[in-house]
Amino acid sequence: MAGQISPTRSAMLASKASLKTAQSGADLLKRKRDALIGEFFALVKDALAAREELSGVSTGAYTSLFGAKAWDTPEAVESLSLAGSGDYSIDMQIDNLYGVKVPRIEIPERDKTTTFSPINVGARTIQAATDFGGVMDGIVKVAATETKLRRIGEEIKKTSRRVNALEQVLIPGIQDDIRFIRSVLDQREREASFTLKKIKAKLEADAKKDKELLQAKNHGSAAD
């Protein structure tokens, strides 16, 4: 970098301005990273709770299914799975969290009316169907929190990389440039001062010589 930069005073001023911008950028990014880390840890609690809830409802649902398949026959239970359309709609909005786009998912109120006839269907099967409705809600909740968590995590990583790039590469590079420009300018200044001194000495020597010549000339005419 230092090799490509022209060692002028204006380049040094520009480098100093860049250094200031980079330092304030790094500072801002660090603050963003800290805020995101705060959000991340707050969300980890929610994500763990959602996972735990899902695990609880899943255990219950699979226990119900276990009993339903045994008492009501696997064929009758599996037949019910053909009935649903498989559609599950959710209300999703995108929130902006420190510049990170994260999803906000609203879990819809579950329709409690059965889509199949409860006549000739065992209570275990009905219970299993209800419980698996809860599992669907749990999965959506986990997906919402974990997607948010992943996005924030990725942004923390990205921000850390940017901070590192600024602190480890860009800022030291600009500082090198400034040092290089400063040393070149100092060197030039020293050279200029040496040249001036030389000129001054030469001028002084010339002046002295002229003066001596003039004195010698005056002395000769007085003797005549």
Partner 1 sequence: MPDDYSYINTRVRIMRTKLLDGRALDSALASGSYAEFLRVLTETDLAANLRETTGEGAGLGELDKALSRNFYDTSQRVLGFADGDAKREIQTLLMKWDLVNLKTVARGIAGNRGVEAIQGGLIEGGTLKPAALQAAAASTDLPSAAAAIAVSGHPLAKAMRDGAAAYSSSNRLLDLEVALDQGYYRYALGVSRNTSLRRYLTREIDVTNALIARTQKGQTLDPSLFVAGGSLDAAGYSRLAGGDAGGNSDIAAILEAPSLEEAEVAARGTLDRAARNSSAGDPEGVGIIVDFLRRKEIEIAKLRLIARGKFYDLSTEQIRKEVQA
Residues forming contacts to partner 1 in the complex (CB under 8 A) are: 64, 66-67, 69-71, 73-76, 78-80, 82-85, 112, 114-120, 122-124, 126-127
Q: Which is nearer to partner 1, 114 or 168 (CB)?
A: 114
Tell me, what DSSP letter sits at residue 165? I
Report the amino acid identity of residue 93: Q
From the CB of residue 132, how many other CB atoms can be counted at a distance below 10 Å?
A: 19
Q: Which is nearer to partner 1, 103 or 134 (CB)?
A: 134
Least distance between partner 1 and beta carbon 128 (Å)? 10
Least distance between partner 1 and beta carbon 31 (Å)? 51
Pure H helices in the chain: 9-72, 74-80, 123-164, 171-223
Q: Which is nearer to partner 1, 75 or 224 (CB)?
A: 75
Query: For the chain, how many residues are written?
Result: 224
CB 153 within 8 A of CB 34: no
Report how far residue 31's alpha carbon sits from residue 25's, in angstroms, rounded to the nearest whole number: 10
Q: Which is nearer to partner 1, 6 or 85 (CB)?
A: 85
3-state secondary structure of 111: coil
Least distance between partner 1 and beta carbon 85 (Å)? 6
Residues paired with 93 in a beta bridge: 104
Positive or negative: CA dihedral 116, 119, 125, 131 = positive
Q: Which is nearer to partner 1, 81 or 215 (CB)?
A: 81
Beta-carbon contacts of residue 82 (< 8 Å; ≥ 6 apart):
none
Least distance between partner 1 and beta carbon 107 (Å)? 21
Least distance between partner 1 and beta carbon 171 (Å)? 59
Q: Which is nearer to partner 1, 73 or 183 (CB)?
A: 73
Least distance between partner 1 and beta carbon 129 (Å)? 10
